Every structure is written in structure tokens, then in C-alpha cells.
Amino acid sequence: MKTLPLLKPLSSILVKPTGADCNIDCTYCFYLDRAGVVRPGFQNDGRGFDRLHGRAMSEEVQEEMIRQMMRDGGRQVSFGWQGGEPTLMGLDFFKRAVSLQKQFGANGQSVGNGLQTNGLSIDDDWCDFLRETHWLVGL
């Protein structure tokens, strides 16, 4: 097996903070064999996601991943947030992501964020955040 060197700057990353876990059970989903479907009434730890599953991205991993991407990402860095259903992490997780991007970003560095979601968790607070921070949203 041949190992290829990492191309730098690494400018784009797809992040799956909930793994395959989701809040619906679509028949066409290719993740169903891996997912723990998080149904209404799941245990909420105050941040949105039932971390008893043990598959959610920790704050430590979130911070280190963002720190490295901002350090190594060049002038433009793009984060694509997917799942499963990434909004199960809760709005505070994504507010923290934007805060960390600002904290670790260099002068003149631009950051873009995209969210691929089924939309079930999107309420007025989510809409305000996504609009104010200029996120691209795919439903």
C-alpha cells in the first residue's frame, strides 16, 4: 500500500459530530445499519444529544479539530457539518464552533460553514444563528 502525502493547505473538511445517529428513520438512508435512531423523548444532557450513545463528538475533539483546521487551512477554510443528523448536538455546539473558528483564525482568513440537515430541529433560534453567521444550509 502506498501512502500519499497530505495536500496542504487542507481547506475543507466534512464533520459528522453525531456519527450516524439521527432523529428520523428514513427508508432510503444508507446509515441505517450503523445508526442509533434518536427518537422523541431521548435523554437530553442539556446540550441536545444523548451522549450515552458514546458516539458524539466531544468538546475536546471539536476544539482540537477546529484549531488544526484553522492553523493548517490556508486563507479559506470550509467546514461541512453532516451526520446522521448534526443538529442533535444542539445549537450551543455550533455556536461554540463559530467561536472557536474566530479564536483560532488568522487575520485575513475566511471561514465558511455548511449544514446538511433534515430540518426537524430547525426553529427560530436556529434560523437566527444560521442567518447571522452566514451558514449554507442543505435540506
Note the pLDDT of residue 64.
Answer: 96
Classified as helix, coil or strand, 22 is strand
Distance from C-alpha of 36 to C-alpha of 115, rounded to nearest angstrom: 20
d(CA 48, CA 51): 9
Task: Determine the Cα–Cα distance for residues 109 and 84; give it in Å rounded to an integer.
Answer: 29
As a whole number of Å, the end-to-end CA separation of the chain is 38
Where would I find the beta strands (DSSP E) of the chain? Answer: 12-15, 76-81, 110-116, 136-138
Predicted local confidence at residue 23, as pLDDT: 86
pTM of the model: 0.81
Decide if 59 contacts 99 (C-beta within 8 A). Answer: no
Domain boundaries defined on the chain? 12-138
Q: Tell me, what's the pLDDT at 114?
A: 98
Tens place of pLDDT per residue across the chain (139 aa): 565 565 566 689 999 998 888 888 888 887 766 555 554 444 444 444 454 455 689 999 999 999 999 999 889 999 999 988 999 999 999 999 999 999 999 988 999 999 999 999 999 999 999 999 999 999 9
Grid cell for residue 90: 444542539
The one-character DSSP state at 93 is H
Cross-sheet strand order for the sheet of 76-81: 12-15, 76-81, 110-116, 136-138
What is the predicted pLDDT for the residue at 19? Answer: 84
pLDDT at 5: 60
Helices then strands, counting H and E runs in the chain, come out as: 3, 4
pLDDT at 6: 58
